Amino acid sequence: MLVVTRYVVPAEEADKFSGLAAAALEALTARPGCTAGWVGRAVDDATLWTLTTTWTNVGAYRRALSAYDVKVRAVPLMYRAVDEASAYEPVVTWSPGSGTQNHEPARSVDADAAHPGE
C-alpha cells in the first residue's frame, strides 16, 4: 500500500517544515508494517512537498496512525496536508529484475476491516 500526503509550503517555512516532516517520517517508519518512506520536494516548484510511505497492507497503516509517537510527531503535520485521498492500493506494479508487470488485487483483503487502534 502506498500513502502519499501532499503539502504546499511557503519558501520561508521550508526549513521548519523539513524538520517536522523528518520527525513524522521517523515516527511512521518505526511502526510495524512500514516498508519504506521518504520526504520529497517538487523539482519544478519548491513549495510542493510530499511525505510518502509504503506499507504491507492498509491495516498496518491504520494501526500506525493510532500509535502515540505517530499521533505526537506525524498527525499534526498531516493536518497541513492538501485535503485529498492519500492511501492507494497497488493495481499494476513492476520491480527491477521481474521483467514483467504484476497485476495486484484492487483492494487489500483487510481494507474494510482494519481500523486505527486494532
Residue 93 lies in a domain: no
Given a cut of 60, whether residue 28 has pLDDT beyond it is yes
Write the CATH number for 42.
Answer: 3.30.70.100
DSSP-assigned letters across all residues of 67-99: SHHHHHHTHHHHTTS-SS--EE--SEE--TTT-
Residue 18 lies in a domain: yes
pLDDT band at 94 (very low <50, low <70, confident <90, very high): confident
With respect to residue 116, please indicate whether it lies within any of the assigned structural domains. no
The pLDDT, as a whole number, for residue 40 is 97
61, part of any domain = yes
- Tell me what the mean pLDDT of segment 52-72 comes to: 96
Cell of 34: 512500514
φ/ψ of 29, rounded to 5, equals: -70, -15
Range of the domain at 36: 2-87
Residue 95, pLDDT score? 76
92 lies in some domain: no
pLDDT exceeds cutoff 70 at 37: yes
Within-domain flag for 10: yes
**For residue 57, which of 94, 109, 106 has the smallest C-alpha distance?**
109
Residue 104 lies in a domain: no
In a domain, 98, yes or no: no
pLDDT at 8 over 70: yes
pLDDT number for residue 68: 97
The number of domains in the chain is: 1
